[in-house]
Amino acid sequence: MSELETDSKLPEEVLRLQGLRKSYHTGTPLEVEILHGLELKLSRGELAALVGPSGSGKSTLLNVIGLLDSATSGELFLLGEATSTMDDEARTRARNEAIGFVFQFHHLISAFTVLENALMPLMIRSGKPTKTQTEHALGLLRAVGLHDFAHKKTNLISGGQQQRVAIVRALVTEPALLLADEPTGNLDTQTAAEVFELFRRFNKEIGCAVLAVTHDPRLSESCDRTISLVDGRIISDQMRETVA
Ligand code: ADP
Ligand code: MG
């Protein structure tokens, strides 16, 4: 059996936004609304691209969905649970348990090895990782071709390899939702395609929903669904017929 088994415990609906609004206070009494009442549903196993011009609110939306920032109004359901009424502790728990993040820059800690970086979310959660958790992380590293680098410091590997470590780190907690903000923006075309392929693979094998911001049309076209955000509104949301 593969270590990348689909977790049948994951519910069908991973994320639902209901009239979600986000404003920023810009230091003046004025509030600037960035996200204008978004409706969105993301199901288990979906691989969705989030596209849109710079400044349209994509990162703001990902930060709100990832519970790194809170909405101004509206509701965000994560695994069927309303998040607006959660206190800080419950939000942190929900974030740690349900969500994995990959950013444009990998933010790996160069003083630590590949394996230690991959295990970081588990170490933050509960201290020393168990043998099973370590083996799981090693299995994921093997799946992305980095098993042999597990005990190397992360500054000794290439940019594409570092981003793959960041993906493993995001997946090590087996999140229901993987959020990626321009995860390949810093990579050359070939490496970007390879890294993006990992999203598709883990999305299929683990069954997590993936929402990935990308500017590269070839990458968004390889997703099941493309959501376009312009000026803080979803102007189109297209499912793609996937070839079996
Ligand atoms: P994108 O990721 O699509 O490029 P962002 O979500 O980063 O867009 O930004 C959307 C808008 O929100 C921009 O006009 C940006 O200037 C503004 N913005 C982002 N973060 C903040 C903040 N912390 N405070 C005030 N305005 C912000
Ligand atoms: Mg952005």
Per-residue model confidence (pLDDT) at position 105: 82
CATH number of the domain encompassing residue 199 = 3.40.50.300
Within a domain: residue 21?
Answer: yes
Per-residue model confidence (pLDDT) at position 1: 38
Cα of 65 to ligand 1 centre, how many Å?
15
Cα of 122 to ligand 2 centre, how many Å?
27
Cα of 182 to ligand 1 centre, how many Å?
15
Sign for the CA dihedral angle at 173, 147, 165, 188 comes to negative
Percent of the chain at pLDDT above 70?
Answer: 94
Mean pLDDT of 9-30: 86
Which of 125-129, 148-152, 160-164, 212-216 is least confident?
Answer: 125-129
Q: How far apart are CA 207 and CA 72, in angstroms?
A: 30
Q: Which two tokens stand for residue 224?
A: 């099941």
Which of 8-22, 109-123, 169-183, 225-239 is least confident?
Answer: 8-22
Q: Please, are residues 77 and 13 in contact by the beta-carbon 8 Å criterion?
A: yes
Q: State whether the beta carbon of 83 lies less than 6 angstroms from ligand 1.
A: no
Q: How far apart are CA 129 and CA 4, in angstroms?
A: 19
Q: Please, are residues 210 and 203 in contact by the beta-carbon 8 Å criterion?
A: yes
Within a domain: residue 44?
Answer: yes
Report residue 41's pLDDT band, with 50, 70 and 90 as the boundaries.
Answer: very high
Within a domain: residue 201?
Answer: yes
Domain that holds residue 175: 13-239
> Average model confidence (pLDDT) for the chain?
90
User: Which residue in the block uniquely carries the two structure tokens 């270590």?
Assistant: 3
CA 76, 224, 161 angle in degrees (round to 5)? 90
Residue nearest to atom 16 of ligand 1 (CA): 55
Q: State whether the beta carbon of 35 lies less than 6 angstroms from ligand 1.
A: no
Cα of 113 to ligand 1 centre, how many Å?
34
Alpha-helix residue ranges (DSSP H) falling in 172-221: 189-206, 217-220
Q: Please, are residues 159 and 111 in contact by the beta-carbon 8 Å criterion?
A: no
Q: Which atom of ligand 1 is nearest to the CA of 213?
A: 2
Residue nearest to atom 15 of ligand 1 (CA): 55
Report residue 185's pLDDT band, with 50, 70 and 90 as the boundaries.
Answer: confident
User: Which residue in the block uniquely carries the two structure tokens 């994560």?
Assistant: 78
Nearest to 9 by CA among 98, 93, 76, 95: 98
Is this prediction's pTM over 0.85?
yes
Mean pLDDT of 116-139: 92
Q: What is the DSSP-derived secondary structure letter of residue 243?
A: P
Within a domain: residue 2?
Answer: no
Residue nearest to atom 10 of ligand 1 (CA): 57
| Burial class, 105, CB count within 10 angstroms (exposed 0-12 / middle 13-18 / buried 19+) | middle
Domain count, the chain: 1
Q: Which atom of ligand 1 is nearest to the CA of 60?
A: 6
Within a domain: residue 6?
Answer: no
Residue nearest to atom 25 of ligand 1 (CA): 24
Within a domain: residue 4?
Answer: no
Q: Which atom of ligand 1 is nearest to the CA of 62?
A: 6
* pLDDT tens per residue, range 139-176: 999 988 999 999 999 999 999 999 999 999 999 999 99
Per-residue model confidence (pLDDT) at position 36: 98
Mean pLDDT of 68-97: 95
Within a domain: residue 5?
Answer: no
Residue 201 has pLDDT above 70, yes or no: yes
Q: How far apart are CA 244 and CA 242, in angstroms?
A: 6
Percent of the chain at pLDDT above 90?
Answer: 71
Per-residue model confidence (pLDDT) at position 3: 46
Q: State whether the beta carbon of 53 lies less than 6 angstroms from ligand 1.
A: no
Within a domain: residue 3?
Answer: no
Alpha-helix residue ranges (DSSP H) falling in the chain: 58-65, 88-98, 114-126, 131-143, 159-171, 189-206, 217-220
Report residue 182's pLDDT band, with 50, 70 and 90 as the boundaries.
Answer: very high
- What share of residues in the chain are helix, strand, coil (percent, to 5)? 35, 30, 35
Ligand nearest to the CA of 58: 1
Q: How far apart are CA 61 and CA 40, in angstroms?
A: 11
Residue nearest to atom 14 of ligand 1 (CA): 55
Report residue 196's pLDDT band, with 50, 70 and 90 as the boundaries.
Answer: confident
Residue 240 has pLDDT above 90, yes or no: no
Residue 9 has pLDDT above 90, yes or no: no
| Burial class, 133, CB count within 10 angstroms (exposed 0-12 / middle 13-18 / buried 19+) | middle
